[in-house]
Each structure stands twice: as C-alpha cells, then as structure tokens.
Chain A
Amino acid sequence: MTPTYYLVLAAILFTIGAVGVLVRRNAIVVFMCVELMLNSVNLTLVTFSRINGTLDGQIIAFFVMVVAAAEVVVGLAIIMSIFRTRRSASIDDANLLKY
C-alpha cells in the first residue's frame, strides 16, 4: 500500500459525511456528519503533509480542529435554543420558511 490509500479512505469518509448531511433528519446528527467531513479533511491534510514532506499540513489540521471546536459550540447552542422551544431536533419541523 501507499499513502494514497489514506487519501482514498478520507475521500470515502468525506462522502459518507456528505450523504449523511443530506439524509438524516436530526439536526445534531447532521452536524455530526459535518464533523466527520472535517475529520476526513484532517486525514487528507496529514497524509499530504507526509507526502510533501512539509509540516504545514499538520498545522492546518490543527487549526481545523480548533475551528471545529468553536463551530460545535455555536452550532449546538443554536440547536439547543431551538429544541427548548420546539421539543424536537428534527430539521423537518423547521418549515416556517418556505418558497
């Protein structure tokens, strides 16, 4: 095997995450699928860092983790504030805004 296998695995994980975002209804699970996508990006970055021989990829991955943490805080706060009102985290229920 070559490090390319990691890249292919990361691409597959990215796609699984993207499909999850489109398919799942629970807002928190949708957000977890986004987190999976970010993780696959991290794996891609670390693998490319090794292939290219520079550490920039690892540092970018580090920043991605920090940004993901901040995003999780804000996102879960938004989801919680909606849940407290609606008693449901289903995104199908978020249907007041329409065509």
Chain B
Amino acid sequence: MIDSPSVSYTGLSPVLFVLGAALVGVLVEAFVPRAYRWGVQLGVALAGTLGALISVILIAGRNELTLSRAVAVDGPALFIEGTLALLGVLSLLLLAERSPDMGGSAFVAQAAVPVGTVRDRQLATLTYSQTEVFPLATFALAGMMIFAASNNLLVMFVALEVLSLPLYLMAGLGRRRRLLSQEAALKYFLLGAFTSAFFLYGLALLYGYAGTVDLRGIFDQAAGSEKSDALFVIGLAFLVVGLLFKAGVAPFHAWTPDVYQGAPTSVTAFMASCTKVAAFGAIIRVLYVGFGNNDWTWRPVLYGVAIVTLVVGSVLALTQTDVKRMLAYSSIAHAGFILTGTIANSPAGLSSTLFYLLTYGLTTVGAFAVVMLVRDADGEAGHLSQWAGLAKRSPLVAAVFSLFLLALAGIPLTSGFTGKFVVFRAGLEAGAAPLVVIALVASAIAAFFYLRVIVLMYFSEPAADGPTVAVPGLLTTISLAIATAATVLLGVAPGAVLDLADRAALFVG
C-alpha cells in the first residue's frame, strides 16, 4: 500500500475555492436554463473568487510546502494569489458586463456558427451569449494561482497549460469583429504551443541534470553535480524562454499587440493583468528558489532582455494609433520595469516586484475598462483620433483614464510611481545602475505617449461624428471604482501594502 501525501487544505483553500467555482460553473452550463445562466454563472464565479480573496487574507503568514512538495504556500505565493483573486474579481465584473448601453455582451452567442452566415447575423441580434466564458475564466485563474505557487516544474507546466488553454478559447469568443477575434485566438494558440514546447524541453534538460524537477532539488544539485553545466545552462535558457513568452517580454512579445487588440476588451483586461502577474510570479519563484545561487547564468541575460524589452515597449508604443495596441506595447515596457526589480535577486527585489505587479494589474484593468466605454456605431472606438476631445463629452471618464495613464507613466501620487520607485531602488541596490538609467529613460519616453493621449483628450476638438462615452453598467462601474481607488490609494498611502509585500518576501522550499 502506498501512503497518500499530506494535503494542506487550508493552505490550498484559495486555489480550491476558484477551482470549485470553475467546476460548478461547468455544471451550471449543463443544467441551468439559458435564461438564468448569466446570473448564476456570475454569482458562482464571484463567490469562488471572493472566497479565494478572503481565504488568502485569513491564511496570510503560512509558510509550508504541501502535496509532497508540489505546491508552496508561502508569502509570495499568497500575495500573488491574493492579487490574482482581486484582479480576477475586477475582470469577472468586466467579462460579465452586458448592459445595452455598452453594446450588450462582448461574447458571441454561438461560437460554432461560421462568421458571415445568415445564422450568424440572426444570432447577432439576440441577447444571450456564451456563458462558458465564466468557467473558462475561473479555470484560467486557478491555473494562474497554481502557476505562481508551484514548487515543482511539472506542476508549473501543467498549470501553465491550465491557464493558457482557456485564454486561447476566450480570445476567440468575441461578438463583434469575430474574424479579428478568431485570428487573435489562432495566433495566441500557435505561438503559445510553440513556446510551451520550449519550456518543456528546458524542463527535460533540467531533469536530466538534476534527476528531479523539484525546485529545491535542482538548487541542491546545482551546488555540486558531476554532470556538466551545459545541460543546466541550456535547460535554464529554454525554461526561461517559455516563461518570458507568457510574461510578454521582448523578444518574445510579438503576440501581445495582436492578441490584445483582437480579443474582446474584457478578455484583454483579464489577460493583461492576471497573466502577467502569474507569469512573473512563476519567473521569480523559478529564478530565486531554483537558481538563486547561480545568478551568473541568468542575470546577464535578463539584464539584456530587460533593456530590449524597455526599448521595444516604449519606442514601438510611440507609433501606435490604436488604443489597445498602445496599451499592449506599454504592458511590454512594464514587463521590462518588473524585470528590473527581478534581476536584483534580493528580498528587496522580490518585494518590489510583488508590489509592482499589484499596482500594475489594478491600473491595467482600469485602463481597459475605460477602453470598453468609448464606443461608436460599430462597437469600441479603437483609433486614437476618435478619442480626441473626449474630456468635453465626458469629463469624469476622461479624468479617470488620465489617472490610469499617469499611473502607468509613473507620475508621483499614483500607484505607478510607488511601484517604479521601489523597483528602481531594488535595482540600484543590486548594482544594476545602468539598467535603472535605461529604465528611467524608457519611463520618460513612455510618459510622452501617455501624456499625448491625455492632451488629445483634453485639448483637441472632438470630431463631429465621433464616438460617445457609454454610461458604464453597474458591473463596470464597480470595477472601475475599485481600480481607481486602489490606484490613488497606493500612490498616496502605500505604506501598509509595501510592508505587506516586504513581509511576504520570503520563499519556502
């Protein structure tokens, strides 16, 4: 007889809440009549995600490995699980939005009907949509939580797939501009499958090197192994390639603008915030726990990668004319800023990265929520020229969007400034001064195009037939309010959360 491994159900409770919500969601799809599905699904998904958030708060401070060392329940894992739960709540509210003023639901009524057929046009007039989006989103959220908390490379890989497959599907479920949406799904899928094959090959080589895929095991083996280092280095390189793709870091960033632009904006908000948080959570765990002593391997490379990312993200964003693409390139630049903190390989680096992820996630969700509001006859008004003079039409929405743009730029009194401050400080303390300088320059370039949009909104004349700002539905309003409040709060009084991140900055395993 074999002994079953010990399971810390309390430690796993955030993940279990979200997984449970996902499973119940699938059952709801099967058994609940169509008229009630949307409400029930939203309730189940919110219950699961809020439950996860509350349980993270309740079990904060735990430090253990569970399920035979497969899953870690430690400070960083819980911090990221909490961040993901919060961002998940906000994103779910956006996903569920279906007020008529905002064009009804963003998701197609039946994804299997080919685009452009008679049936497709008929279905476009009906109000129901594919409510499978909710269980898919909660599965993705569960995968993200486990991805950032996995202590074992195999669990990390399975969690990577669990988080990716629903995102591939959700990106293709757009109601308007279905062709674009399907194309985004195809691109994301093909590139994602390609890079997860690289991740796997790295995993295989590291297994060959260390005889185990446990992160601590790899760490111990790296301290002294009779096998040559080439396996170790090549394996790490492939592994990092896979992880950097998910985080949207250059030179593996090519999917980000296309997928962010083509997917429905609420799905983009979900992806841009939560996936990046989860990906960096995993990167930091792998690099610090598994390869913390061997940073001569990864630090120089990530240094260069961070520089390329910062340059690509900020420079290419200057030329963008579509709001979603501009935000996509800006998220690539932000990945560069986060890397600046990660390279530090110190507790300060860890806590600064965690804090930056939280602030970045909240701001991003808010920014994409505002993008959902600016609509014209065809749907969302994506082109920047259509955003001219928006402040005259709707001062409140323009002010909120300006706040988010300023936060993304890192202007003082916003959460973005605090985030950049702690990240740059960690980078400087670790001796990466040239990188911090480049990051500051990239910040300035990025600030230019953020401010350009603000100037466009406030100081240009609106086009006569330009888009209107929709009255946000209740769900979007709640989401926006929380995001705005958090952005301001974390900029003005970030002390408590910074302390939290500092206390959380200790890995187990």
Let me know if A12 is at the binding interface, CB within 8 A: no
Q: Which of A25-64 contact B (CB under 8 A)?
A: 27, 30-31, 34, 37-38, 40-41, 44-45, 47-48, 51-54, 56-57, 59-60, 63-64
Number of interface residues of B (CB under 8 A): 41
Whole-angstrom distance from the CB of A14 to the nearest CB of chain B? 6
| A97 lies within 8 A of B180 (CB) | yes
| A71 lies within 8 A of B114 (CB) | no
Contact of B200 among A38, A47, A59, A97 (CB under 8 A): A38
Q: Given contacts A63-B154, A71-B161, A85-B115, are A94 and B186 in contact (CB under 8 A)?
A: yes
Whole-angstrom distance from the CB of A3 to the nearest CB of chain B? 10
| A79 lies within 8 A of B186 (CB) | yes
| B187 lies within 8 A of A97 (CB) | yes
| A71 lies within 8 A of B165 (CB) | yes
| A38 lies within 8 A of B197 (CB) | yes
Contact of A97 among B189, B205, B261 (CB under 8 A): B261
Query: In the complex the two chains form, what is the Cα distance from A82 to B189 in whole Å?
Result: 13
| A60 lies within 8 A of B203 (CB) | yes
| A48 lies within 8 A of B172 (CB) | no
Query: In the complex the two chains form, what is the Cα distance from A63 to B207 in whole Å?
Result: 14
Q: Which of B181-198 contact A (CB under 8 A)?
A: 182-187, 189-190, 193-194, 197
Interface size class of A (residues with CB under 8 A): 35 or more
| A37 lies within 8 A of B190 (CB) | no
Let me know if B201 is at the binding interface, CB within 8 A: yes
For A31, A53, A56, A97, the residue with the greatest tally of chain B CB atoms inside 10 Å of its CB is A97
For B194, B200, B213, the residue with the greatest tally of chain A CB atoms inside 10 Å of its CB is B200
Q: Given contacts A78-B182, A85-B115, are A51 and B169 in contact (CB under 8 A)?
A: no
Q: Given contacts A78-B168, A85-B114, A97-B262, are A67 and B213 in contact (CB under 8 A)?
A: no
Q: Which residues of A contact B190 (CB under 8 A)?
A: 21, 27, 30-31, 34, 75, 91
Query: In the complex the two chains form, what is the Cα distance from A17 to B262 in whole Å?
Result: 28
Let me know if B477 is at the binding interface, CB within 8 A: no
Let me know if A70 is at the binding interface, CB within 8 A: yes
| B213 lies within 8 A of A60 (CB) | yes
Q: Which residues of A contact B194 (CB under 8 A)?
A: 18, 21, 34, 37
Q: Which residues of A contact B16 (CB under 8 A)?
A: none
Contact pattern, A 72-99, Cβ under 8 Å of B = 1, otherwise 0 = 0011011101101110000100101100
Let me know if B157 is at the binding interface, CB within 8 A: yes
Query: Which residues on A are within 8 Å of B, measured CB to CB?
Result: 7, 14, 17-18, 21, 27, 30-31, 34, 37-38, 40-41, 44-45, 47-48, 51-54, 56-57, 59-60, 63-64, 67, 70-71, 74-75, 77-79, 81-82, 84-86, 91, 94, 96-97
What are 28 A-B contacts with C-beta separation under 8 Å?
Answer: A7-B208, A31-B190, A31-B193, A34-B193, A34-B194, A34-B197, A37-B201, A38-B200, A40-B201, A41-B201, A41-B204, A44-B205, A48-B207, A60-B154, A60-B204, A64-B157, A70-B161, A71-B193, A74-B168, A75-B190, A81-B111, A81-B114, A82-B186, A85-B114, A91-B186, A96-B262, A97-B183, A97-B184
Query: Which residues on B are within 8 Å of A, measured CB to CB?
Result: 111-112, 114-116, 154, 157-158, 161, 165, 168-169, 172, 178-180, 182-187, 189-190, 193-194, 197, 200-201, 203-205, 207-208, 211-213, 257-258, 261-262
